[in-house]
Amino acid sequence: MNVIERFNRDIECVFERDPAATSKLEVILNYPGLHAIWMHRITHKLYKMHLRVVARFLSQVARFFTQVEIHPGAQLGEGLFIDHGCGIVIGETAIVGDNVTLYQGVTLGGTGKETGKRHPTVGDNVMISSGAKVLGNINIGNNVKIGAGSVVIKDVPDNCTVVGVPGHIVRQDGKRVHTDAHHPDLNHNQLPDPVDDCLRIFSYRLDEISTRLKELEEKL
């Protein structure tokens, strides 16, 4: 794929995944995530040429204008779409597959406990929602969805949906995964009702008092 083809493919990705996009000119001018990807392609080449100081400097310039921080050493696949962009961080040894979607506030970072390969490897066709953190040298499989605000610190197999802190699988291969006591099912119709619980306790106490009074009356 030559430069022009990649350029057009990047723009097509925006139209495919953002219904707010209305024209090619709008996408070119107003999508900071796209600008960050384009700049990263330049800085990544410089990084591989061992011009690392220049690469880091240009990546910081891109960060200033786009609010997206992508280390020049990170490896990004084709068809990456960064929506909104603000607050996204992608670490040096992160590897991102093809057709991945990242929303604002996503971090592909390290734990501070590893050396060498210390950032995540993300598979193809993955969606990581706003504010999610994927940390450490872990593998995220293909066709995975990670919910907003989740913190993922363990490997995730293919075809899964992950939510929560810490992240846990709630759906795999299209089937719902049974939850346990540590990760309760929070369907709205099954949420605990503290008012109802208090009323039940109050009713129970009234029954106890009533029974005691009857016993005292009988003794008198």
Sorted by sequence, the CB contacts under 8 Å of residue 85 that are 6+ apart come out as 31, 32, 33, 36, 66, 67, 68, 104
What pLDDT tens digit does each residue of the chain (220 aa) get? Answer: 778 888 899 999 999 999 999 999 999 999 999 999 999 999 999 999 999 999 999 999 999 999 999 999 999 999 999 998 899 999 999 999 999 999 999 999 999 888 899 999 999 999 999 999 999 999 999 999 999 999 999 999 999 999 988 888 988 988 888 655 455 555 555 555 667 767 777 888 888 888 888 888 887 7
210: in domain: no
Task: Count the residues in the chain.
Answer: 220
Decide if 157 contacts 170 (C-beta within 8 A): no
How many independent structural domains does the chain possess?
1
Specify the CATH number for the domain of residue 86: 2.160.10.10
Domain of residue 44 covers: 3-190
Residue 208 lies in a domain: no
State the Cα–Cα distance between residues 125 and 47, nearest whole angstrom: 26
